[in-house]
Structure 1
Amino acid sequence: MTSAAPGSVTQCATCGVERAEPLPEVCPICADDRQYVPAGGQRWTHPEASAAHGARIEFLEREADVINLVHRECPGIGQKPALIRTDHGNVLVEAPNHISEEAVAAVRGWGGISALIASHPHMYGVQSLWSAAFDDAPVYVSAPDEHWLGLRPRNTVVWGGGHQGEEIEIVPGVRASQPGGHFPGSAVVHWTARDGRGVLFTGDTIGTVADPRWVTFMRSFPNWMPLSGAVVRRIADHVARYEVDRIYANFGGCVPHDAGAAVHRSAERYARWVDGEYDDLT
């Protein structure tokens, strides 16, 4: 687990997460049962090679002060990091899997980046390069998942090593905590928008679904591995500390209103199904 200068970062082509030399035989994040190594085997790349094949970042304004960074032709799993714009500095939730001068200039136009936080290791992307592009902005990494770092950004802030309920304030008005679930250190980020409503950025801790009235919970989304009813209820109880009107997940999904209630009723429905309460319907 070493540091690397911009330009020397290698990425797994499958998950997009950065890694320093010497490279392992296979990406540990992809070899884990929450992800996968493709049938064609391990492949490595880097941002310069991706750019030569058309990789780029586009920008989508979701609401006032929330901008998604959208991957086009990039390595990795296609997450849509969210830039939260505040009067106290901007926070990038999840890290892109690509970086370019054009993308950095665009983010500067939105007010830059004061801090980065990934919800879990699948979202580390090339966070060291984005941090370096913004004066070594701090990169928040949850303590239970720190060992997944294949490259440590120069300004890494390890947090949440005490207990799962621990909370930090990244900038005034933007707080993070660790309900766990998908990973032991899986984090959510809460922000109070200018309309006074609470917005929760949930990563893979709470997943959006086709019906915006509901959400879901999984250990692995690509491999469809569930969590237990007890863990799902724990996650719902954890996020109940926040007033949540809207949810933004990490792949562009959204619960547009009354999201706190959606989490509660979804957790109950999920727990009852996995606990066998509805087995007679199967």
Structure 2
Amino acid sequence: MPCWICATCGTQYKRSPEPPSACLICKDERQYVKHEGQRWTTLHQMQQQGYNNIIEAECPGLTAIYTSPKFPIGQRALLIHTPHGNVLWDCVTFIDAATVEKVKHDFGGIAAIVISHPHYYTSMVEWAESFQCPIMLHARDEQHVMRPSQSIRFIQEDEQQIVEGVTALRLGGHFTGSLVLHCSLPTVERPFLCTGDTIMVVPDQNPKAWVSFMYSYPNLIPLPSKEVARMRDQLAAWKFDKIYGAFKGQHVEAGAWDAVMRSADRYVGILDGNITRDFY
């Protein structure tokens, strides 16, 4: 029996002879079902259709993994290289023997997988089984796991060290268990933050970098101002200079901590009416 994959969000479900009647991830108001309706595929079908993973250096100590052609949301995973083992941040649906061989041969495998939120759970179990490593998810999002596995370890606290120098922080917002990953490594000059969709790097990066926050990105549902203020205050004590976002090209190269604080202040101020703009 196959593990069916939603062709809209990339979530892989537990084995069944027929696909599920609906994708519970896409039925949630943070995602969507396409106009043409629910569609399903399998990893085997994807492997036969010419998909492949691009694995390329993002910066010293960080390697990006993304699928070509784009499938389905188009996010990337980030492999963080540490002296204590490699940590895979977020996940992509597609995986094949070539991907596994390259990651093992070039980088020495994966010590742990940490995923920011349910939209990127994808085929995490396939990755964990291929690399014989645990998957770290926050317990507040346990109900969104569609393929249970003994590889899954649920983070119970708001802060969890994954390996030395790599810490998962629960900020919530997009999902109640939404995480970011703070990295302070001897091989990297300055600390950096991997944000998934918890904090979104936006196009406006010149002369200053900006980020934003959302409950639903595709449906443009904002977060309440008090939640963004809480996220800002929670992150304030964690210093970092760079951000690496969920998609290729999404990064803040310098001054990232200031960008998050300033962007959160703007978001809160506009929603609360304390920052004035011309709206009418």
Normalising by structure 2, we get a TM-score of 0.93
Residue 258 of structure 1 and its aligned partner are, at CA, apart by 0.9
* Structure 2 residue matching 1:221: 3-state secondary structure: coil
Of 29, 34, 39, 1:33 maps to 29
Does residue 1:198 correspond to 2:187, yes or no?
no
Q: Spell out, residue by residue over 1:25-73, the C-alpha distance to the aligned partner (whole angstroms, 9 max, x if none).
A: 1101001111000111111111110121111100121111111101112
Aligned to 2:175: 183
1:13 to 7, 28, 36: 7
How many residues are treated as equivalent by the alignment?
A: 271
Structure 2 counterpart of 1:243, which letter?
K
Report the Cα offset of residue 173 of structure 1: 1.0
Q: Which residue of 2 aligns with 1:211?
A: 204
1:116-172 Cα deviation digits (max 9, x unpaired): 01100001011000000012x000111110110000232110112x5xxx2111111
Alignment correspondent of 1:124: 121
CA distance in 2, matches of 1:269, 1:107: 41
Aligned-partner Cα distance in 2 for 1:187–1:200: 11
The alpha carbon displacement at 1:279 in A equals: 5.5
Of 51, 75, 78, which residue of structure 1 is paired with 2:74?
Answer: 78
Partner of 1:48: 44
Match of 2:165 in 1: 173
Whole-Å separation in 2 of the counterparts to 1:79 and 1:199: 19
Once the two structures are TM-superposed, the CA of residue 24 in structure 1 deviates from its matched residue by 3.0
- Partner residue, 1:267: 264
- For the Cα contact (< 8 Å) 1:131–1:153, is it kept in 2? no
Equivalent position to 1:24, from 20, 23, 40:
20
Alpha-carbon distance between aligned partners in 2 of 1:21 and 1:103, rounded to the nearest angstrom: 23
Please, which moves more after superposition, 244-253 or 269-278?
269-278
Counterpart pick for 1:139 among 135, 138, 142: 135
In structure 1, the gaps of 5 or more residues are 1-6
Residue identity (%): 37
In 2, Cα distance between equivalents of 1:280 and 1:129? 48
Give the letter for the 2:63 counterpart.
Answer: I
Letter in 1 for 2:139: A
In the alignment, what sits opposite 1:3?
Answer: none
- Which runs of structure 1 show a deviation greater than 6 angstroms over 4 or more consecutive aligned residues? none
Query: How far 1:276 sits from its partner (Å)?
Result: 2.4
1:149-164 to structure 2, matched below 5 A, reads 149-160=145-156, 162=157
The CA distance in 1 between the partners of 2:150 and 2:258, in whole Å, is: 40
Provide the secondary structure at the position in 1 that maps to 2:21.
coil
Partners of 2:102 and 2:122 in 1: CA distance: 18
Q: Secondary structure of the equivalent of 2:168?
A: strand
The alignment's TM-score, normalised by the length of structure 1, stands at 0.92
Flag structure 2 segments of 5+ consecutive residues without an equivalent. none
2:220 to 211, 215, 224: 224
Given that residues 139 and 153 in structure 1 are in contact (C-alpha distance below 8 angstroms), is that contact kept between their aligned partners in structure 2?
Answer: no
Note the C-alpha offset of 1:20: 1.0
Pick which of 122-131 and 270-279 moved more: 270-279
Instruction: Assess if the C-alpha contact under 8 Å between 1:197 and 1:243 holds in 2.
Output: no
Q: Distance in 1 between matches of 2:188 and 2:163?
A: 18
Distance 1:10 1:221 in 2: 25
